[in-house]
Structure 1
């Protein structure tokens, strides 16, 4: 088995950063379609992704790369028209973040970076499960979060 290269780890971090940018955008957009009772969970999720984005920017810079910027907008898994589609967007954003952080795990042997990636994957999987449960989706979590 070949050890991952530093470039692979940096590329994976860049993908995780892109997923964090997209999640922040998704939380802002979904909030327009959810009832006020969802505001605390939306704020908590957005704050978590913002903190993770900022920490990831620092990691990318430490790796000697220029962090990817946020896009002006992102695609949604379906047209966003109501509460149900807003839940689908949030679950999708969390699933994408989990998959991106799983990729970081696969592309580094650095213990600190692996812990960061595992924590991020776990956090995204838990938030996705919470949004699925709130929306009444089943199953509430896939067998292996972060898998395609």
Structure 2
């Protein structure tokens, strides 16, 4: 995320555009915190032949999380800390449910990056689009199929 954009946000922290960008960046950070936690569960239950894939996703989400912490600070905000634990959407009791969880984690991350694409401009938008794409590819690998417009699903 660009430092120039962050400096502009600090000069005008009340601007609605800046607030939308900070809110979307914080939401992406929240989703990355949850994904890092979730992949800890996935890695403990996934079959041996997919452990490397789970580890690669875990590493990718940690890197994105760390970048988002810096981005929130650059925007003049205080990064929200990870929760001690996160409620899982269903019990993860074996390899099949671990794969389902991984796909859902990636869908959630794609959703928030779609919001960041809408809120951002320039390098921020390009970086968020790359993160959305990465999440969509990982979700498709876990699920065995993709969705037409990842990150743009109807929300309740």
Fold in common (TM above 0.5) = yes
Q: Aligned residue for 1:137?
A: none
Question: Per-residue displacement from partner, 1:63-121 (whole Å, max 9, x unpaired)?
Answer: 0000011111112221111211111111111000000000011112x201001100000
Structure 2 contact 29–68 (Cα < 8 Å) conserved:
yes
Gaps of 5+ in 2: 1-15
* 1:26 paired to 2:38: yes
How many residue pairs get matched? 139
CA RMSD of aligned residues (A): 1.3
Gaps of 5+ in 1: 134-139
Question: Per-residue displacement from partner, 1:37-70 (whole Å, max 9, x unpaired)?
Answer: 2121111101100111111111100000000111
**TM-score, normalised on structure 1?**
0.90
Q: Distance in 2 between matches of 1:63 and 1:52?
A: 16
Q: Distance in 1 between matches of 2:63 and 2:34?
A: 14
Q: Distance in 1 between matches of 2:113 and 2:90?
A: 24
Q: Aligned residue for 1:100?
A: 112
Among 132, 135, 146, the alignment partner of 1:124 is 135
Q: Aligned residue for 2:19?
A: 7
**TM-score, normalised on structure 2?**
0.85
1:44-123 to 2 correspondences below 5 Å: 44-108=56-120, 110-123=121-134
